[in-house]
Structure 1
Amino acid sequence: MTASPTTDPAANVTGVMVTLVTAVFGYSLMQTVVVPTLGLLTRELETTRAWSAWILSAFLLSSAVLTPLLGRLGDLYGKRQVMIGVLVAYAAGMAGAAMAQNIGQLIAARVVQGAALAVVPLSMAILREALPRERLPFAMGLVSGVVGAGAGFGLVVGGLMADHLSWRYLFVLGALLAVVSLLMVTRWVPVSRHTASGGLDLPGAALLAAGLVAVLLALTQGPSWGWTSGWVLGLFALGVLLLGGLMVVERARKDALIDVGELTDPPMLVTHAAALLFGAGSYFFYLTMPLFAQQRPGADGAGFGTSVTVAGLLLLPGMLAIIPAGMAVGRITSVLGPRWPLAGGFLLFTTGAVLIAMAHTARWEHLVFYGIVGAGSGLVMGALPKLIADIVPLTRTGTANGINNISRTVGSVIGSQLAAAVIVSSTSGRAVGVPDSAFTTLFWLSAAAAVIGAAISPFAVRRKAPAAAVSATPQDA
C-alpha cells in the first residue's frame, strides 16, 4: 500500500529532490526529443514541412500560455496537487501522441503536453518550501541543470529512435516517464504549508494567454508569411495591445496573476531579460550544431556528414557540463557573492560561442567548445531561480518562476526564428547545403546575446533582499 505524503516539508529531503529531478528530466527530455525526427514525421504522416513545424510551435505556444496560470494555481491551492494534475495531463498527451494517426491529432496532443513546462516552476516552489535554506542553492542548481542536460539527452535519444525504432516510441517513453514521476510525487512530495491568498485572476490569465499567442504566432509564422506581411504586423500589434491592456487590468486587481510592481522591479526585470537572452542564445546552438554535423561537407568545408545520432552525441559533453555547473551556484555565491554565478555563466557561454565561431571545422572543436558553453549554461540556469527566490515572497515563487520560464520560451522562439531566417537567406540561389558563413554568423549571434546577458547580470541583484523574500524556508516559518 502506498504511504500517504507527509505534511512535514523537511521529512524526506532526498526523496523530494530525487522526485523533482525525475519529473523535470522527463519534461526536458521530451522537450527536444522530437527535433531530430521532424523530417521522419513529415514523411510518415504525409504532411508538409509547414505543418510538421507546428509539432514544435504548438508545444511552445501551449507552454507559454499555461505555465504562469498553473504556477499561480500551485501558489493558491498547493504545489503538490497541481503537479499531480500537470503530470496526469502530460501522460495523457504523450499517450495521445503515440496513437496519433495524422498530423492534426499529433499537434493536438502536443498542445496538451505543453502543460508540462509548469513542472519546472512548480519544482522550484516545492524546493523553496520543503528544503532547508542551506541546501536550497544546491538543489535549485541541480534541478535547473537537469532541465538543460535533459534537453541535450533528448536530441541524442531522438536521434537513436529515429535511426532504429518507430517515432511512436518517443511518446511511449514520455508517457512512462510521466507515470513514474506521478507515482513518485504522490509518495514523496509533501503537502504545501504555504499558500497565497486571493483567487484565480481569470481576466488576467485570458489577456496574458491571448497576448502571448499573438506575439509567438507572429514570431513562428514570420519566416513563412513574411515579416512585413499584414498578418504578422497585425499579430504583433494585437499582442502589444493585449499585453498593454493586461498591465492596466492587473494594476487594479488585488489578486493579480501578474504583479506589475514585482514585474517592473529592476532586479526582477533584469532576471527575466537574462532568461530571454539565454533562451535565444541556446537555441542558436540547438538548431545550428545538429544541422552542421548532419550536412555533407561542401566546398567551404561546412559539415561532417554524420548520422542524426552522432549529431546529438556531439552536444553531449556540453549537456553533461550543465549539471555540475548548476550545482556549483551555491558555492560560488557564498565565496564571490550573488552577482557572479549569472554573470560568470554568461561570460563562459560567450567564451565558448566565440571559440566555436572562430573554429568549428573539426569534431573536437564542437565537443570542447560547446562543453564551455554548457558549463556557462549550467551557471545561468542555476542562478535564475535562486535570484527569483531572493526577490519574491514564498507564496509567489511558482508564479514568478513561471513568468521567467515564459521569458526563456519567448527567447527560444526568437532564437529559432532568427536562425531559420539566416539559414534561408544564405541558401537562396544555392543548389545544396548551408554555407559556412551562415553557421559562423549564428555562432556570433549567440555570443552577442551572451555578452548582453553578462552586461546586465549585475543588476539582477538588489543590495538588500526584502524581508518577505528572506523568510522562505521551513526553518523560518
Structure 2
Amino acid sequence: MSAAGPDGAAPAEANGGKTLAALVVAVFVYALMQTVVVPALKVLETGLHTTSAAAAWILTAFLLSSAVLTPVLGRLGDQYGKRRVILAVLAVYTVGMAGAVASQNIGQLIAARVLQGAALAVVPLSMAILREALPVRRLPFAMGLVSGVVGAGAGAGLIVGGLLADHLSWRWLFVLGTVLALVSLVLAALWVPADRRTAPGGIDMPGTVLLGGSLVAILLALAKGPSWGWSSGRVLGLLAIGVVLFVALVAVERSRRDALIDVAELADRPMLMTHMAAFLFGAGSYFFYLALPLYAQQRPAGTGVGFGASVTEAGLLMLAGALAVIPAGMAVGRLATALGPRWPMAGGFTLITAASVLFALAHDHKWQHAVFYAVVGVGTGLVIGVLPKLIADIVPLERTGTANGLNNIARTVGSAVGTALAAAVIASANAPRGATPDSTYTTLFWLAAAAGALGVVAAFLAVRRRVAADAPAAGAARPQQPQTAK
C-alpha cells in the first residue's frame, strides 16, 4: 500500500504540470496580444487608410468586448464546465485573430477585435481550473505564475508590437496571434482536465444584460471623453445610463438565486477591497504604458524632453520591468504563506509607489526608465500574483471563475480610467504633437504614485477571512487562521 501513494501521485503531478503549462501559454497569448497593437496604432491607421479616431476603436472595441463577456464567460465556466468554456473561448479567439489578418478595412478589423475580446475570460477560467486541478501546496505558486504571466505578457506585447511595427507589415501582428492562439487551443485540448464540480443554477440573463449595458456605457464614456469633451451631453448621458443600469443590476441581483453578481459577496469588505486594488492597479499601470513610450519616442529638439527613440527602443526600455513580473509573481506563494496575503499586495503597491515618485523626480535618462520600471515590474508581479489568492480565500470553489472574472473587469475599468486621465492630462498641456512638456510627464507619474498609495491602503483592508473547505483540491487540508486588520 505504501508504494501505491507515490505511484499514484506521480501521474497526478505530471498531469498538473501539463495543465499549468497549457494555461500559462493561453494566458500569455492573451496578455501579449492585448497590448501588441498599442505601439502599432499609427501603422494600422496608415495601412488601413483611416483616421486616428477610427483607429482608436481597435483598442476600444477590444476593451468593451472584454468587459461585457468576461463575467458572463466566467459564470458559464462555473456552471457548465471550465474546460468546455475555455476551449470555446480559445477557438473564438483564434477566429478573431485570423479575421484580423484577413481584414481589408477598419470596420472588419474592429469586428475581429470584438471577437478577440472574449480572450480576457481565459484569465479567470484558468484560476478556477487551477484551483480544482492542483493540490493545495502547489496552488499559490501556480496562481502566482499565471498572474505574473499576465503582466509580463502585457509588457512583452509593447516590445513585440514595436519590433513588428518597425520592420514588418501590421498584418504580422495578427499572424503571430493566430499561430499562438492555435498552439494554446491545442495544448488546452490535450492537457486541461474535465471539470469535477460545477455550480447549480442557470444563466442570469437580466443580470447579464444590465451588467453588460452598464459596463459598455461607462467604458465608452471614459474612452471617448477626451475627444468628445467631458462636459458634452453624450459623455454625461452615457455615464448617467451606466450608473442607472448598475443600480438596477444591484436591485435585480438581490432577489435572484442564480445571480451573476452576488451582492452580499461584492459588498463584503475583503472582496470589495480586492476589487478596488485591481481597479487601482489597472489605472496606475496605464499611466506608465502611455507615458513611458511617449516620452522615449519624443524628440528632444525644441523642448529638451525625450530620447528620440524608435518604437522598438522605447519598448526595450521597459523590458526589464516586463521580465521582473514573472519571478515576483512566482514568489507570492511563499510570501503569502509566511506573512499572509495582505503583505505581498502592500509590498507590491509600495514598490510601485516608490518607483512612481522616483520617475516624477528624475526621468531624463534612459537608465532611470529601465531601472525604475524594473521596480514597477516587481511590484506588479506581487500585486497581480496575490489577487487570485485573496479571491480563493473568500469565495467557494463554484464561484471562482465568476469572482475572478469580476476582478479582471475591475482592472479593465481601472485601465480605462487611467487611460482617460492620462489622455486628459496630455490634452490639457495644449502642446503641439511631439512637444509634450516635461511637467505633463511629471503629473502622470504623480498620478501613478497616488494610485499606488491608495493601493497600499486597500491591501490592508483586503483581509483574508476564514472559509470552509470547499473541495479536497482547494482546501480540505488547508488550515486557515482568521485575520483581522492591525
The code of the aligned residue for 1:293 comes to A
Task: Say if 2:226 is the partner of 1:223.
Answer: yes
Q: Is the 8 A contact 2:47 2:170 kept in 1?
A: no
Deviation at 1:424, TM superposition (A): 1.1
Q: 2:211 aligns with which of 208, 215, 226?
A: 208
- The DSSP-based 3-state class of the residue aligned with 1:328 is helix
CA distance in 1, matches of 2:310, 2:302: 20
CA distance in 1, matches of 2:207, 2:473: 26
Q: 2:166 aligns with which of 155, 163, 174?
A: 163
Task: Say if 2:360 is the partner of 1:361.
Answer: no
Unpaired runs of at least 5, structure 1? 1-7
Give the structure 1 partner of residue 100 of structure 2: 97
CA distance in 2, matches of 1:182, 1:31: 17
- The DSSP-based 3-state class of the residue aligned with 2:399 is helix
Deviation at 1:454, TM superposition (A): 0.3
Task: Say if 2:440 is the partner of 1:447.
Answer: no
Give the structure 1 partner of residue 344 of structure 2: 341
Bigger shift: residues 265-274 or 328-337 = 328-337
Task: Say if 2:265 is the partner of 1:255.
Answer: no
Q: Is the 8 A contact 2:271 2:391 kept in 1?
A: yes
Describe how 1:249-328 pairs up with structure 2 within 5 A.
249-328=252-331
CA distance in 2, matches of 1:267, 1:298: 50
- Give per-residue Cα distances to partners, 1:175-194, cap 9 Å, x unaligned: 11111111111111110101
Give the structure 2 partner of residue 4 of structure 1: none
- The DSSP-based 3-state class of the residue aligned with 1:467 is coil
- The DSSP-based 3-state class of the residue aligned with 2:213 is helix
Deviation at 1:338, TM superposition (A): 2.1
Task: Say if 2:174 is the partner of 1:154.
Answer: no
The code of the aligned residue for 1:343 comes to A
Q: Is the 8 A contact 1:132 1:475 kept in 2?
A: no
Give the structure 1 partner of residue 136 of structure 2: 133
CA distance in 2, matches of 1:9, 1:46: 53
CA distance in 2, matches of 1:198, 1:122: 18
Deviation at 1:302, TM superposition (A): 1.4
Change (3 A) 1:475 1:31: same
- Give per-residue Cα distances to partners, 1:172-214, cap 9 Å, x unaligned: 1111111111111111111010100011111110110001000
Q: Is the 8 A contact 1:293 1:305 kept in 2?
A: yes
Deviation at 1:13, TM superposition (A): 1.1
CA distance in 2, matches of 1:82, 1:114: 15
- Give per-residue Cα distances to partners, 1:94-133, cap 9 Å, x unaligned: 0000100000000010001000000000000011011111
Q: Is the 8 A contact 2:96 2:116 kept in 1?
A: yes
Change (3 A) 1:359 1:401: same
Task: Say if 2:477 is the partner of 1:465.
Answer: no
Q: Is the 8 A contact 2:135 2:473 kept in 1?
A: no
CA distance in 1, matches of 2:317, 2:161: 14
Describe how 1:407-426 pairs up with structure 2 within 5 A.
407-426=410-429
Deviation at 1:317, TM superposition (A): 0.3
- Give per-residue Cα distances to partners, 1:199-257, cap 9 Å, x unaligned: 11111101100010000011011111110111111110100000110001111100000
The code of the aligned residue for 1:457 comes to A
- The DSSP-based 3-state class of the residue aligned with 1:243 is helix
* Identical pairs, percent: 66
TM-score by length of 1: 0.96
Give the structure 2 partner of residue 456 of structure 1: 458
Give the structure 1 partner of residue 436 of structure 2: 434
CA distance in 2, matches of 1:68, 1:229: 30
Deviation at 1:301, TM superposition (A): 2.6
The code of the aligned residue for 1:370 comes to Y
Give the structure 2 partner of residue 60 of structure 1: 63
Task: Say if 2:247 is the partner of 1:244.
Answer: yes
Deviation at 1:357, TM superposition (A): 1.2
Describe how 1:373-412 pairs up with structure 2 within 5 A.
373-412=376-415
The code of the aligned residue for 1:465 comes to R
CA distance in 2, matches of 1:473, 1:391: 12
- The DSSP-based 3-state class of the residue aligned with 1:246 is helix
CA distance in 2, matches of 1:344, 1:471: 31
Q: Is the 8 A contact 1:138 1:328 kept in 2?
A: yes
Q: Is the 8 A contact 1:12 1:188 kept in 2?
A: yes
CA distance in 2, matches of 1:458, 1:405: 20
- The DSSP-based 3-state class of the residue aligned with 2:439 is helix
Deviation >2 Å, runs of 4+: 8-11, 298-301, 429-432, 468-472, 474-477
Deviation at 1:356, TM superposition (A): 1.2
Q: Is the 8 A contact 1:137 1:329 kept in 2?
A: yes
Deviation at 1:298, TM superposition (A): 4.0
The code of the aligned residue for 1:150 comes to G
Q: Is the 8 A contact 1:130 1:474 kept in 2?
A: no
Q: Is the 8 A contact 1:128 1:394 kept in 2?
A: yes
CA distance in 1, matches of 2:474, 2:276: 27
CA distance in 2, matches of 1:272, 1:384: 9
Task: Say if 2:51 is the partner of 1:20.
Answer: no
Change (3 A) 1:163 1:430: closer
- Give per-residue Cα distances to partners, 1:336-392, cap 9 Å, x unaligned: 222101111000111111111111100000000000011000000001000000000
Alpha-carbon RMSD: 1.5
Deviation at 1:476, TM superposition (A): 5.7
Deviation at 1:431, TM superposition (A): 6.9
The code of the aligned residue for 2:468 comes to A
CA distance in 2, matches of 1:429, 1:408: 30
